[in-house]
Amino acid sequence: MTTLVVNEESQFVRDHLNAKIEAVTSDNTNAEDKALLITEIKQLLQQEDAVMVAHYYTEPELQALAEETGGCVADSLEMARFGRDHPASTLVVLGVKFMGETAKILSPEKRVIMPTLEATCSLDLGCPVDEFSDFCDQHPDRTVVVYANTSAAVKARADWVVTSSIALQVVEYLKDKGEKIIWAPDKHLGNYVAKETGADMLLWNSACIVHDEFKAKALMDLKLVYPDAAILVHPESPQNVVDLADEVGSTSQLIAAAKNLPNKQLIVATDSAIFYKMQQAAPDKLLIEAPTAGNGATCKSCAHCPWMAMNSLTSLRDVLKFGNQEIFVDEAVRVEANKSLQRMLTFTPNK
């Protein structure tokens, strides 16, 4: 059984985008200034005993700099693990706010900074803790499983945190124990997990504004142009797009699929910034963006997350220099959120 819980997230998220995004995303730095910025950033990383922890959806120049300076480029789960295990005293998280919070939850003794704390996520915005907590209270018989793309407070209310790379195994495990589930916040990922596992899941009604824009009809048309291409889809996409996939998976799983599939052409339905690492993994393959609503439509993202795009060389230099965008998590919230995160980190599928 899957049931959607109606909320007002959609308009709220659009309002947030309209109010916050335009002013901060444009980085018109020229090549010469970029080279100077990169030199300054490298010096500041050393001076501050800091390491870059970047997500696959950030700008390629930031991913390249993270790699060059001994940092990591990864999905949100691996980012958190890397940050926890790295000896640096400062973690510079390039991504969106919930990733910085997760790093702080796992590494409370470290300073966690981000190029901008304005970079958030439509899934996080779409799941306010008070509303969600009330909803959980109405269904005390259900185990609460939340996606990593949530605030620290929502994680603290949950029994489990999962990422898209481990969601199927955790829900399968809970179903086998006879547990009924509340799932939040991504309705498409929840729907996919429910369909694959057959678990009894009550779904929160929120979506990723990037993946929600992928269109099945346009994807079928594109497949006619590239009949030999494999279709790779992130499960935050709508079900009718997932249904067309040759491979469904998390960011790391899609990169691995790009390498391992025999197809020389790949149509990819996730944030296009992933092409930087995907092309490294599959250098001889043609990567093609899956179609979204397109120019002139209501699409604000068009296959690239506007919040991820708020991370830039300039804002990275500024936070290293001024240290003014630091993540703090209330200690009581951190302790509770850490419990549900640790369940995921210590989970093995055959447990």
Binding site for ligand SF4 (CB under 6 A): 57, 96, 121-123, 149, 208-210, 271, 305, 307-308
**Strand locations in the chain (E):** 2-5, 50-55, 72-74, 90-94, 111-113, 143-147, 160-162, 181-184, 201-204, 230-233, 247-248, 265-269, 286-289
Query: Closest CB to ligand SF4 among 48 and 186?
Result: 186
Environment class of 79 (CB within 10 Å of its CB; exposed 0-12, middle 13-18, buried 19+): buried
Query: Closest CB to ligand SF4 among 95 and 173?
Result: 95
Phi first, then psi, for residue 92 (nearest 5°) are: -100, 105
Query: Closest CB to ligand SF4 among 92 and 123?
Result: 123
Query: Closest CB to ligand SF4 among 40 and 289?
Result: 289
Retrieve residue 129's tokens: 């803790």
Phi first, then psi, for residue 3 (nearest 5°) are: -130, 130
Minimum Å distance from CB 57 to ligand SF4? Answer: 6
Minimum Å distance from CB 122 to ligand SF4? Answer: 4
Query: Closest CB to ligand SF4 among 173 and 204?
Result: 204
Minimum Å distance from CB 21 to ligand SF4? Answer: 11
Minimum Å distance from CB 126 to ligand SF4? Answer: 9
Phi first, then psi, for residue 40 (nearest 5°) are: -65, -40
Minimum Å distance from CB 103 to ligand SF4? Answer: 15
Q: How far apart are CA 196 and CA 192, in angstroms?
A: 6
